[in-house]
Amino acid sequence: MSAARTTGDDRTDVLPPGCRVGDWVVTRLIGSGGWSTVYAARPAGRGPGRSGSAASPPDRGDVALKIMPTAGLSPRQVRSIVESARREVELGSRAGHPRLIGFREWFVLASPERPSLEGAIVLVMERAAGSLRDLIDAGMPETDRGRLIAGICEGLAHLHRSGWVHADLKPENVLLGRDGSVKLSDFGLATELTGTHGYAPPMGTMDYFPPERWKAPLGELGVPIRPTVDIWALGVIIHEVFAPGVPLFAGATPMARGAAVQEYGEGRAALRVDPAVPPLWRALATDCLAPTHQARARHTAESLLARMTTAHRRTRVVRAGRRGGRARTAALATALCGVSVAALCSDTARTAPGAPPGLVRVYNAERGCREPVDLDLRCSLGLAVDPLLPYTAENVVPTRVWHGDVLTTDCQMHGGDPVVDEEDRQSTRWFRIRLPAGSGPSTAWLPAVRTREVPALPECR
């Protein structure tokens, strides 16, 4: 094995490709900073593949190894490393979600041949294809910007509901899956809330600190942290995504920009959002960047996500209305049916025989999936977790259904995310489905275009 290099701060040996760490083999260095170094790695039993190239997407078995050395550090520094790792492990084990980077395992490295790595803590995590920072620097398509921000907001909403604050949200810590999905990462400073706030070490990235963080009192447990610090950081990210390269607060250094943030927080300077930021996102960014914690607190991740989702639905309906004569006919049918915008008359088709009220039979518009398929996964359909969010692979429960399955439903909802099936039937109506006992979530949602039956049901509350 070739001699190791060192990172920029000369603290940690850089492991060469081919070096084994636990059950994994290092393929390349991803990056280093703070108290850790991150590597791409593959399972030890698999030969080298395309993941050795920095430009190639990861294979499905690939992981990221976050190595946090402890050798040569003071007892206080070691405690900080251990506490940071504990937070990542606890959050990764308890708050799993499609918008959070997946956590697999952790272990302490025994490395007698590399004394600098003896006793290092190793976190094994899902391997991402890149970061939001990479996209910002390279220039991202305009159509992706809103989707990515909504993904960040969705991850934050889950974190905050779970009682955690990220506390170091920035584009470098927003990773992208192979399919372009958003994955929040790096929870070394994540803070668990006790009531309305928690405490974190006085660390982080200054360009994403809200005004009150600059003067937060440092106590025995650290500085007080609330969810509004993530909301502020989200506002900064919105500005970066839509106006890349344009500083939100002027200054040649982080400290100088921090002084400008404090001036704004004290009412001595105005917030200057670049004109390149579209009106919807300008309004959202401005609310995220309210100058005080109290003013920001009413704009939660959930409420911001709801605003984004509503705007997304309206945009889709407007675009659908511009597709030509067929879309105009559908719009006229909608008006005549007297139902909600974008729901077609087919939603009110008569109930087919064999499905009494309270039951719906699944309908798959793909002809090849209507015959007996022996539960072929290619013909399975997903049930949504949240009918207000886009109907994608990240928003479905593990339970799958097939054409002809009869499901129990107890209520319906209008105004959900519009869904169009393979026969170009479109609807915003969803049915809440009761799942079998022990299925994880007790309910899920079936879009109305996935059935030809509409039982008489109350509106979901």
**CATH number, position 237:** 1.10.510.10
Q: How many CB atoms lie within 10 A of CB 61?
A: 14
Which pLDDT does position 339 carry in this prediction? 28
- Measured distance CA(207)–CA(159) in Å, rounded: 22
Residue-wise burial string across 70-85, b where 16 or more C-beta atoms lie within 10 A, e elsewhere: bbeeeeeebebbeebb
- Measured distance CA(268)–CA(211) in Å, rounded: 12
User: pLDDT below 50 — which residues of the chain?
Assistant: 1-11, 50-55, 314-357
Q: Is the pTM of this model over 0.85?
A: no
The token pair at 232 is 């502020």
Residues 237, 243, 247, 249, CA torsion sign? negative
Query: Per the domain annotation, does 444 fall within a domain?
Result: yes
Query: Per the domain annotation, does 323 fall within a domain?
Result: no
- Same-domain check for residues 43 and 182: no
- Measured distance CA(276)–CA(132) in Å, rounded: 19
Which pLDDT does position 435 carry in this prediction? 83
Query: Per the domain annotation, does 331 fall within a domain?
Result: no
Which pLDDT does position 54 carry in this prediction? 42
The range of the structural domain enclosing residue 358 comes to 340-450
CA angle 59, 63, 69 (to 5 degrees): 155
Amino acid in the structure at residue 147: R
- Same-domain check for residues 369 and 445: yes
Query: Per the domain annotation, does 102 fall within a domain?
Result: yes
- Same-domain check for residues 142 and 286: yes
- Measured distance CA(283)–CA(235) in Å, rounded: 10
- Measured distance CA(414)–CA(457) in Å, rounded: 12
Q: What is the pairing mode between strands 36-43 and 63-68?
A: antiparallel
CA angle 307, 295, 206 (to 5 degrees): 95
Query: Per the domain annotation, does 71 fall within a domain?
Result: yes
Which pLDDT does position 438 carry in this prediction? 62
- Nearest one of 208, 192, 185, 182 to 103, comparing CA atoms: 185
Query: Per the domain annotation, does 285 fall within a domain?
Result: yes
Which pLDDT does position 439 carry in this prediction? 63
Which pLDDT does position 258 carry in this prediction? 95
Number of domains into which the chain is organized: 3
